[in-house]
Amino acid sequence: MRIDVVTIFPEYFGPLDLSLIGKAQASGLLEVGVHDLRTWTHDVHRTVDDSPYGGGPGMVMRPEPWGEALDALAPEGEARLVVPTPAGERFSQAMAHELAGEPRLIFACGRYEGIDQRVLDHAATRMPVTEVSLGDYVLFGGEVAVLVMCEAIVRLLPGVLGNAESLAEESHAHGVLEAPVYTKPPQWRGHLVPDILRSGDHGRIARWRRDQALLRTAQRRPDLLAALDPDILDKRDVAL
Ligand code: 6GU
């Protein structure tokens, strides 16, 4: 996969060279290009914004630099454009899987009140465009949101995670939250590891983890529980 990011703050993306995303790049599973939007300005002040038509607070990103950036990065529209915005469709594990299947992604990081809508409308005549929100809160700009999305996407690429089982078992893979986890020592500051996890009885351990996962989901995310496909519940689950 290749990911290009266009931003007025390239320094935000230093962390993409660290940890498992950095390793994915080093091993050739992932290519990342981070580009300063101001590369595609032509005035001495390298202007990227202007006041909004119709009035109102703040500034809007002008279309010209964005148009040139997208022409340069995907001249034939050979990528999917992802635009982080609180006005977007909600990001999810399902969307992460969908984006992980794309050979090329371009993230366009807006600042201020956003990017002139014509940039997205024009891009959509050449490539798929998705406006994406992380949730119901407002960030200063798309940069941190892109780091979040990149991490969610890159860890799904084949070969990035060592242990494929940890992908299958994790929170949200089956629409329920994960059970709590413990390691040594067996007693710490007066708190004990649940006996069952030290019993060696793998059947009962699996049952306990399943119960804990459903209990947590009921307590913390009743919306997820309500949306669960009844086919994935067994008789003992329903007893909860
Ligand atoms: Cl994706 N971008 C911005 N700027 N704010 C957000 C967001 C994205 N998701 C939630 N708030």
CATH code, domain carrying 109: 3.40.1280.10
How remote is the CA of residue 64 from the centroid of ligand 1, in Å?
A: 23
82 annotated ligand binder: no
How remote is the CA of residue 141 from the centroid of ligand 1, in Å?
A: 7
Residue 91 is assigned to a structural domain of this protein = yes
Q: Can you give the pLDDT at residue 230? A: 85
Atom of ligand 1 lying closest to residue 138 CA: 11
Residue 81 is assigned to a structural domain of this protein = yes
| pLDDT value at 240 more than 70 | no
Measure the CA angle with vertex 34, ends 32 and 36; round to 5°. 165
Atom of ligand 1 lying closest to residue 139 CA: 5
106 exposed, middle or buried (CB, 10 Å; 0-12, 13-18, 19+)?
buried
On whether both 66 and 183 belong to a single domain, the answer is no
Cβ neighbours of residue 84 closer than 8 Å, sequence gap 6 or more:
107, 109, 110, 131, 132, 133, 134, 142, 145, 146, 149
The CATH number that applies at residue 177 is 1.10.1270.20
Whole-angstrom distance, CA of residue 146 vs CA of residue 134:
9
Beta-bridge partners for 6:
35, 108
Name the residue among 121, 90, 61, 83 with its Cα closest to residue 5. Answer: 83
On whether both 129 and 178 belong to a single domain, the answer is no
Domain holding 31, by residue range, is 2-154
How remote is the CA of residue 172 from the centroid of ligand 1, in Å?
A: 21
Give the residue, out of 8, 134, 137, with the most ligand 1 atoms within 8 A of its beta carbon, to mutate for a pocket test.
134
- Residue 238: which pLDDT band, with cuts at 50, 70 and 90? low
Q: Can you give the pLDDT at residue 235? A: 77
**Number of structural domains in the chain:** 2
Q: Can you give the pLDDT at residue 112? A: 80
Two tokens, residue 28: 């050739």
Q: Amino acid letter at 194?
A: P
- What are 49-108's pLDDT values in tens digits? 999 999 999 999 999 999 999 999 999 999 999 999 999 999 999 999 999 999 999 999
138 annotated ligand binder: yes
Report field, pTM of the whole predicted structure over 0.90? yes
Residue 72 is assigned to a structural domain of this protein = yes
147 annotated ligand binder: no
Three-class SS state of 58: coil
224 annotated ligand binder: no
Cβ neighbours of residue 90 closer than 8 Å, sequence gap 6 or more:
132, 133, 134, 135
On whether both 207 and 124 belong to a single domain, the answer is no
Whole-angstrom distance, CA of residue 3 vs CA of residue 80:
10
Two tokens, residue 62: 């002008």
On whether both 59 and 135 belong to a single domain, the answer is yes
